[in-house]
Every structure is written in C-alpha cells, then in structure tokens.
Amino acid sequence: MHRVRLSSMILLVGAVLGCHRGGPPAPPGPDTPARGEAALAAALRWIPTNPEYQGLPVVLMAGSAHGDFRPAWIDSLKSAALIHHACTALTVVECPDSARAAYVGFSQPVLATDRSADVSMTVFVLNPAACGHDSTQSSEASGRLHMPWPGSTVTNYRWTQERSATARC
C-alpha cells in the first residue's frame, strides 16, 4: 500500500517540477510567424491614430509582398476591428469601394531581438469609385513605422516618412 502511494507521489512531484522547471517559456524567436503577425497588427492599430489616415484601414493583399499572410489571420483582423476589410485588386483604384479610406500595403516586418519591430508601409488615401472624376484627389505616403515594442501604446511608435505625393487619381 505504501508503494502505490509513494509511486503516485513521485509521479505527482515529477509532474509539478516538470511544469515549473526553468520558469516561464521563452518568448518566440525574432522571426516567428506569430511575432510578425503581431507586429503587423500593431502597425495597423497605428493607422487610425494618425490624423491624415483616420478610420479603419483597408489592407491591400495583391502582390508578392502581401501574399504570405494567412487568410484566417486577415479575417481575425477584421473581426477584431483593426481593419475595415481587405482588397485583393491589383491596383488601389480597382478596389470595389465607394468611400474615402486609407489603403495600406506593407512588407514583412523586420523583427529585432530587443522585441522592437519596423514595418515599411505605403498608405494610399482615396475613394476608388470617385477616381474617374477630374477633381478627385488622392495621396500616397511611404515610410517606416518603428515600434519599440509592438504591444506598447501607439504614442511610442515613430513614423519616418520617406516619400509623400498628392495627385489626381
């Protein structure tokens, strides 16, 4: 009878020690897909806070830079109200929208070992349905968003604009 209790106790102690051995699990490495998706989601949270791009962004999914993202992840961005929707048209003016919005294209984030991330983005602000009119204005800004830690507040993010243009679309 003591053997059964003793062996059961040894298994229980072994399981407890196994669970707590070494502290909490290590954070994901610098290039894990989940960390990259978290950095991109953080960058998309920044868009509506910028006075030039107010409103939920539309994510551009056409092109090789945008084809590596899981459709389920894009759906989760919409469910979490981080984006309005995604557009798979080859050009922004071909998106089937009839309201002014910020259309965002981005590249894979650069993830550093210090948990910071940089995302290169291009933001187009326009109404695709109105682009056939002579007076329709559009703007385009390209740059890099640096996030000291993607989970920090967006006020800590730094946008470095590399190019900006306003034109008729």
- Where are the chain's structural domains? 32-168
From CA 133, how far away is CA 156, in angstroms rounded? 39
pTM (2 decimals)? 0.75
Strands, E, within the chain: which ranges?
58-60, 85-87, 101-106, 110-111, 117-126, 137-147, 158-168
Predicted confidence band at 67 (pLDDT cuts at 50, 70, 90)?
low
pLDDT of residue 1: 45
